[in-house]
Structure 1
Amino acid sequence: MPHNRPRSGRRNGVQVARVVEVVGIGAGDPGQVTVEAVAALRRADVVFFLDKPGQARELSDLRQLILDTHLPEGGYRVARAEDPPRRREADAYTGAVADWRSRRAEVCQQLITEHLGPDETGAFLVWGDPALYDSIIAVVEEVLARGEVDFEVRVRPGISSLSALAARHRVTFNQIAGSVQITTGRRLATGWPAQVDDVLVMLDSGNTFLRYRDEPGVTIHWGAYVGTADEILVSGPLAEVAEHIVATRERARAAKGWIMDSYLLRRQTTDPV
């Protein structure tokens, strides 16, 4: 939502002492949390947890591990709320996401109002990097736009799951003189992006890479739970490893009740024009 709010600690000439930090915490490895992120967390009076239901609460346990690793002395409070589920049966994807963000904004506004004092700092912990396929920045902006509570927003970048994936496989995002596109399984299902040889794919519940296993020269670098103790990596010619990835993914999801995975699809670079 566009607006002209400054990013300083002043609103309409009045100093705002309340601060909300949006902190990227990486893909799960406490060693990949940046020095800037650790400093921000150490300034926090309260850390906000949006808990997932069921077995996915393990994600909250990983957040707590990161806090325990970098803030062993404590000194902060934890305020928790249930993360509203997205209505996945909705026909209009964009509308469903907008509805989900608004319901998350309601929850976040309540957390900030009830648990963050007028001179305190609160922190939302975001997987990977807050700028990449995460909604908390937009959610916090919606809370501000409502005008019922005021605070300064600060965003701390993190190591994305895609960066961690590429590092684990010891590859780069793109080839020499080549382009790379970050997309979703939903988008990839409509076709391989034009003039792109390397495609980084997130949010693919349908194993969309199977559509391209018969295309010559395509390789895949896939990873699940990257950066955690349960990390799984598979790499090779897509035609040879596609079914193995599908089976591995199904077993992992059945065992844990949830999965976070991504992959890089790569085909031989075409000569630049």
Structure 2
Amino acid sequence: MFDLTLIGIGTGNPDHLTFQGAQAIQDADLILIPRKGENKADLAGLREEIIAQVCDTPPQVAYFDIPKRRADDGYLRGVDEWHDAIALRWQEAISAYPNAERVALLIWGDPSLYDSSLRIASRLKPQPETRVIPGITALQALTAAHAIPINDLGAPYIVTTGRRIRDEGWPPNASKVAVMLDGECSFQSLDMAGYDIWWGAYVGMKEEILINGPLAQVAPQIVETRATARADHGWIMDIYLLKKRTT
């Protein structure tokens, strides 16, 4: 039987790793690293770099391939089946190391915010004792990069997805909205004249790109910049914050 530790590693900058996270990496017997295709090989390379930085004698590493998610049978059902498939890949990778008592995964951002690692871990059999080491979230990195607070004084904000912005529009009673997991530049579905945006890609990494301003003015620049960056790198992780304009 093994214990599982999910370690938040921030948004691409090795300096985001906490001392607690570094200690958990050093204590691990086995670390699982996902592979998402050749175009995203630098995501695995970043994890390898972090491990090498904090360990004189690195633990064993097991790689697993991320299965593709089906999109032909409804979003939620497709995600549920996808999580089952990923859990099976974890199980298979771990079973190849029967003596590993402390297994870890390095999770981009934080395992508790818009990440499914905990849901996937709950599918493992037998169920391991699971520990979470918090990390810097993409949202924290974005607001720090733009040097802005996440909320207006005494006002709520909402964290949501691009899909919900497209399907449901602006959430009611929200002063600001942070949008994650948006590959469609869903801000284009809003009345763009009514909002300001703070956008960032590869936030915290040396490739970091930041754009902000009135949405109607900078939206075309964001769309073009995002497409170019994705073509150049083979992948992109971006996030943005929207605020209703008052004038």
Normalised to the residue count of structure 2, the TM-score between the two structures is 0.94
State which of 37, 44, 59 in structure 2 corresponds to 1:76.
59
* Identical positions, percent: 39
Q: Which of structures 1 and 2 has the bigger CA Rg?
A: 1
| 1:106-145 correspondence to structure 2 within 5 Å | 106-117=88-99, 120-144=101-125
For the residues of structure 2 that align with 1:130 and 1:52, how far apart are their CA atoms? 18
| 1:195-206 correspondence to structure 2 within 5 Å | 195-206=173-184
Check the 8 A contact 1:213/1:238 in 2, yes or no.
no
Check the 8 A contact 1:178/1:269 in 2, yes or no.
no
| 1:131-170 correspondence to structure 2 within 5 Å | 131-144=112-125, 149-170=126-147
| 1:9-158 correspondence to structure 2 within 5 Å | 18-71=2-55, 73-87=56-70, 89-117=71-99, 120-144=101-125, 149-158=126-135
For the residues of structure 1 that align with 2:183 and 2:155, how far apart are their CA atoms? 27
What SS does the corresponding residue of 2:96 show, helix, strand or coil? helix
Moved over 6 A (4+): none
For residue 20 of structure 1, report the CA deviation from its aligned partner.
Answer: 1.2
For residue 269 of structure 1, report the CA deviation from its aligned partner.
Answer: 6.8
Q: Deviations over 1:127-156 (max 9, x none)?
A: 000011211111111114xxxx35321111
**Which letter maps to 1:227?**
G
Residue segments in structure 1 that go unaligned for 5+ positions in a row:
1-15
Check the 8 A contact 2:169/2:190 in 1, yes or no.
no
Check the 8 A contact 2:199/2:212 in 1, yes or no.
yes
Q: Which residue number corresponds to residue 11 of structure 1?
A: none
| 1:244-263 correspondence to structure 2 within 5 Å | 244-263=221-240
For the residues of structure 2 that align with 1:213 and 1:156, how far apart are their CA atoms? 39
Distance 1:233 1:23, change over 3 A: same
What SS does the corresponding residue of 1:115 show, helix, strand or coil? coil
For the residues of structure 2 that align with 1:54 and 1:42, how far apart are their CA atoms? 28
What SS does the corresponding residue of 1:199 show, helix, strand or coil? strand
Superposition CA RMSD, Å: 1.6
For residue 213 of structure 1, report the CA deviation from its aligned partner.
Answer: 5.0
Check the 8 A contact 1:23/1:125 in 2, yes or no.
yes
For residue 201 of structure 1, report the CA deviation from its aligned partner.
Answer: 0.3
**Which letter maps to 1:166?**
T
Residue segments in structure 2 that go unaligned for 5+ positions in a row:
none
Aligned residues: 246
What SS does the corresponding residue of 1:229 show, helix, strand or coil? coil
